[in-house]
Each structure stands twice: as C-alpha cells, then as structure tokens.
Structure 1
Amino acid sequence: MLQGIGFVLDNSARKELEQRKDHFLGMASHELKTPITSLKLQTQLLRKQLAKQDIHNVDTALSRMESQLNTVIRLVEELLDLSKIQAGKLEYAQETVNLGDVLQEVVEIVQQTQTTHTIAVEHAGHPPFLVGDKARLGQMLLNLISNAIKYSPEADRVEVDIKTSEEVVTLSVRDYGISIPREQREKIFERFYRAVAPHQRAFPGLGMGLYIVSEIVKHHRGTITVESERGKGSTFHVTLPRKSP
C-alpha cells in the first residue's frame, strides 16, 4: 500500500515538473522572440543604409549576421511551438492549399540562403490541393528540406518529389548525406531526440524540428516515415489526405 502511495506521489511530482518545464520553455521563447525580431529588423535597416553609401565588405558581413539571426529566430519559434504543442494550444487553420505552390515558396526562400545545395523538385499526378493549414505545412516543408541540407554536408543536391492521387498527396524529401541507423528511425520523431553519433555533434539543433513536423503531419491526419541506407542518405515520406474529415 505504501509503495502504491509512493508511486502516485512520484508520478504527480514528475507531472508537475514537466508542466513547469513546458511553462518555462513557453515563457522563455516568448521573451526571447521580441528582442531578437527587433534586432533582425535593425540589422536589415542598417544593411540598406550602408548599401546606399557603397561601403565595401559590409554587405557580406551583414548577410552573415542576418543568417545567424535567422537561425536563432527559428530555434526560438520551435521552442514556442513546442510549448504550445505540450499545452495543446498550437493553432491550425482549415483552408484549401496548393502544396505545390507552398513548396515552391519554401524552395525559393531556402535557395536564397543555402547556396551549397540545389533543390530539385518533381511533380506527378493531379495538382496537389488539400485541406489544411498553409503556414504549418510550409513549416513542415522548411524543416524537412533544411534538415536534408544540414545532414548532407558532403553532397550538393536535395530532391523533393510530390505525387498526387485522388485521395492523398505524397511528399518525399531525399538527401545524400549521413544515414540514420535502423534502431533510431522511430525515435527521431521524439522530442529532443537527435540521431547523431558522438563524433557528429557539430550538427546544430536541439532535436525539435522533426518532432514538430510529426505533430503537424499527425494533425493533418497524415503519416511520416523514413528510409535510410548507409552511404546513400535518407528519404522522408509524408502522406497527407486531400480532404478534411
């Protein structure tokens, strides 16, 4: 009986600790977002003003600053989304979305900042219309493509394929980078999990991107899986129903 009481108290304390941690993540993310966004705006303004004065080497330095700021902003936004997911407060719109158009926008944004890789896109089947949240689907695509680039530093190409049937849209993102061991392929969608070996810790990130992607896919009643072969890279497959229930 005493063991049962001890277990209940221990479980209750663990839940309270989890709630405090999630609350802290949400609060910290919210507090960080405002000054970082302001700093980015000031950097952009400074860049424009100095460009008019034709000062050499300034544009390159400010571009690098802006790139690093974008990285920090993305991390903060992921922390904020994470806290909302844990609280069940991540909001989704319901609208008709052309996933092909969303993909094109994401690819253009990524190609402006990532010059090391070419992103090749292929479409097949019907136009990829579905019912969902355009912004969240864009976030899903951005995370998958950015991950593909990040984990294939020795390659120069990422392939994205969209196939559309009457019932579903299937998206595949393929890289030619490091592979994911079979025993880790289910765990990579867990919160804070990173499928990298100790000697690969140079890869940045907190292990939130794929967790958020999987939550977005799950909310759209879809599935996400990964295939990976040693020395040949990885391919993530996302299948989304075209109609809302």
Structure 2
Amino acid sequence: MNSKTPLTSLKLQTQLLRKQLGKQGIDNADPVLSRMEAQLNMVTRLVGELLDLSKIQAGTLEYAQETVNLDDVLQEVVEIVQQMQTTHTIVVHRAASPPLLVGDKDRLEQMLLNLISNAIKYSPGANTIEVDIKTSEEAVTLSVHDQGIGIPQEQREKIFERFYRAVAPHQRAFPGLGMGLYIVAEIVKYHGGSITMESEMGKGSTFQVTLPLKRT
C-alpha cells in the first residue's frame, strides 16, 4: 500500500468538510480548515522527501526520459506556489529561446518547487523572489534569488548534504528536515548538471542550476 494514502484521505476529507460546512453557511471554520490543509501539505511533502531519500540511498529513484521545456515547467510551478503563498511575488525572467532538456518533467518540477519554496521560507522579511532562465548553445542556466537572511560562509559547503540546515545561532529555527536541497542536488546530478550557491548575510542568496540542453 502507498504510504501516502492515509494523508491523501485526510486531505480529501478536510476538503469535503469545508464544502459541507460552506453549504450550511458555517464559514467561521474556514481559517482552521485552511491551516489543517497547510499542515497536511507540509507532512505530505516531508513523507515524499523521506521516500525519495530512501530510494536515492538504495539507487532505485526512477527517472523518465522525455523532452521537457523548462520554461513550461517553471510556469506550472510558479502558478502552484502563488496559489499557496500570498506573502511573496515570484518575478520570472524567461529564456529568449525554449530551453529543451531530456529528462524527467516531474523531477525537474520537484527541483524548481524545492528551490522556490526554500527561497520563500528563508526570506520572511522580503516579498519578492526572482527566477531567471538563460540559455547558451549548450546549456540552460536557472537562477533563484531571494532577499532573505543569507547563509553563513562556514556553512555554505554543507547545505547540499543530507539533513543539513544552514541557520546561524541567533536565527530562529525554520521548519523542515534539511532534505530538500540534498534531493535537488541529486536531481541536478542525474540530469548531468551542476548547482552552485552565492550568499551574503542579511542580503539574500542565489541558487544557480546549469543543465545541458537537448542535442538536436
């Protein structure tokens, strides 16, 4: 049995309860149900990351092989995130030509979702996330920039390690288990790409992913 099934059932029951209460004119429960759905989404994501982590360690994480337009994938991810997040606006600078890759659309979507969600989480005092896509003859470069808390110099080489979260001693803890960037790095590695990060304390961070384009 899929271990996500109980969570999926809970989410469906929460949505059904919201509809039923709405039909009865009971609207004061809506904020509570919204928080419940948000927490369920968080738990679902953590379960998914744990499953992916176990597959990565076992060498059984599966990837599809198809032609993917990274611009289209980014648009889908941005729409999803903007529906869930009202605190930040995602500003996208698209590529001049369609960035076509050979790879797994769902995994590339997961990569983008993790990077953008991470940028939002670590920039609570800002309201904008910038995403740039640029293409050359051989590769596409994707940059996700936030105006957040930044990452200390001594922690920057560790952020792609499993279960590592870069938080300075004086900063408050952020939710999560530190698996997102590790999984992102594995997805990038599988697609033959590279990922780097630049950061300045108090001014934000930029994650840059470079992936090879489809050969024509």
The TM-score range, normalised by the shorter chain, is over 0.9
What is the rounded CA distance, in whole Å, between the counterparts of 1:169 and 1:51 in structure 2?
Answer: 46
Aligned with 1:132 (options 103, 123, 126):
103
TM-score (structure 2 length as normaliser): 0.95
Shift of 1:104: 0.8
175-184 or 206-215, which deviates more: 175-184
Partners of 1:179 and 1:230 within 8 A in 2? yes
**Bigger mean CA offset, 74-83 vs 158-167:** 158-167
Confirm or deny that 1:84 pairs with 2:55: yes
Match of 2:77 in 1: 106
Partners of 1:64 and 1:38 lie apart in 2 by 17
Among 16, 21, 29, the residue aligned to 1:50? 21
- Matched-pair contact (CA < 8 Å) for 1:126–1:166: no
Question: In 2, are the aligned partners of 1:167 and 1:242 still within 8 Å (CA)?
Answer: yes
Could you say which residue in structure 2 is the equivalent of 1:118? Answer: 89
Which of residues 162, 165, 189 in structure 2 aligns to 1:218?
A: 189
Residue matched to 1:170: 141
Tell me what 1:4 maps to. none
Which digits, 9 at most, give the CA deviation of each residue in 1:90-128, with x for residues without a partner?
000000111111111111111111100000000132111
* SS of equivalent residue, structure 1 residue 161: strand
Q: Tell me which of the two structures has the higher relative contact order, counting C-alpha pairs closer than 8 angstroms and 6 or more residues apart.
A: 2
C-alpha deviation, 1:201, in angstroms:
4.3
Aligned-partner Cα distance in 1 for 2:202–2:90: 20
Q: What code does the residue aligned with 1:178 have?
A: I
SS in structure 2 opposite 1:231? coil
Provide, for residues 40-68 of structure 1, a one-character-per-residue CA deviation record: whole Å limited to 9, x for no partner: 11111111222222212222221111111
Deviations 1:150-198 (A, max 9, x none): 0000001100001122211110000000111222212100001111123
Structure 1: 5+ residue runs without aligned partners? 1-26
Greater helix content: 1
1:66 corresponding residue in structure 2:
37
Distance 2:10 2:16 in 1: 10
Percent identity (aligned): 80
Computed over aligned residues only, the root mean square deviation of the Cα atoms, in angstroms, reads 1.5
Cα separation, 2, equivalents of 1:210 and 1:217 = 10
CA distance in 1 between counterparts of 2:60 and 2:214 reads 23
Counterpart of 1:230 in structure 2 is 201
> 2:214 is aligned with what amino acid?
K
Please state whether the residue corresponding to 1:130 is helix, strand or coil. Answer: strand
For normalisation by structure 1, the TM-score amounts to: 0.84
From the CA coordinates, give the structure whose radius of gyration is larger.
1
* Range 134-143 or range 199-208, more displaced: 199-208
Deviations 1:192-243 (A, max 9, x none): 1111123334211111000000000000000000011122100000000012
Query: Is 1:126–1:165's contact at 8 Å kept on the other side of the alignment?
Result: no
8 Å CA contact 1:125, 1:165 repeated in 2: no
Q: Which amino acid aligns with 1:125?
A: A
SS at 1:207 equivalent: coil
| Stretch deviating more after TM superposition (60-69 or 77-86) | 60-69
Q: Which residue of 1 aligns with 2:163?
A: 192
